[in-house]
Amino acid sequence: MTGPDGNEEGEETIRQSSDFVEAVARGLSILECYSDPVSVRQRGRLTLTDAGKLTGLTRGTARRLLLTLKELHYLDSDGKHFWLTPKILGLANGFMTPLGLGDASAAILQELTQRVDESASVGILDEEEIVYIERVEVRRIYSSRIVNGTRLPAFCSSIGRVLLGGLSDVKLERWLDKYPLRPLTPHTITDRKAFVAEIGRVRERGYSVIDEELEIGIRSIAVPIIGENGRVVAALNNSTSTARHSVEDLEQNFLPELRLAAEKLSRTMNW
């Protein structure tokens, strides 16, 4: 995983040193396997065998870790299956609360959705994906089912393009070396040179528009949320369908509202 300075070599050095605690890493790998598609398909219920396969740990090690996490009340069990408990949410709150994602931020997103009549989201970059950390969805017959914690590929999402635009050229090249571009629709940019040029345009314009690159029939526009140090720390977007709004609509009508909301968020979120 690339750290804040984009230095993967530093992380590898730590792993090889006496400061790296293997037991902690193994315990976290158990918790991480609950986001795996296998866990999702099984409604978050994993057996000892499942945990061992997903983590690559021996059966004995996986068993001890599962039982330890159960004793600490992060997991519960019926004797065969293990599942997460609500206590795990405390870890998420420990991340979300310092960011200032409280009532003030939610009110800003709510006001934005009312003004443009489309869903609004805040996301951050996590390796090759963006993670939604706040969202207000407009109620429609069809719902996108995007919620806090939802992940999408960064390279073809409007939030992701803005966040990648916040990286230096060197860090962007490293990111592309690690995460190759792949086609999700016929419109997805997969040529590396063209992608870097697009990121350059995002930086220059201060916003990103995705037009059916992530999913056919979906358009979105995003702007950066700037921290106190002038760094891009998150991004705010509106998403819509191609049937409701054109790219021109997004740029002419949505963009001013997004920029105003992002400016407000930069003051309420404790970045």
pLDDT tens for each residue of 147-177: 778 899 999 999 999 999 999 999 999 999 9
Q: What is the mean pLDDT of residues 18-27?
A: 87
What pTM was estimated for this model as a whole?
Answer: 0.75
- Helix axis angle for 48-55 and 22-32, nearest 10°, is 120
29-43, 100-114, 155-169: the lowest-pLDDT one? 100-114
CB 219 within 8 A of CB 241: yes
Per-residue pLDDT, 268:
82
Residue 30: is its pLDDT beyond 80?
Answer: yes
Give the pair of three-digit tokens for residue 130: 């963006």
Q: DSSP code of 215?
A: S
Per-residue pLDDT, 35:
84
Cα 236 to Cα 112, 187, 266, distances in angstroms:
10, 23, 11
Instruction: Assign 2 a pLDDT band (cuts: 50, 70, 90).
Output: very low
Q: Give the domains, in start order, of the chain with CATH numbers.
A: 8-84 (1.10.10.10), 92-268 (3.30.450.40)
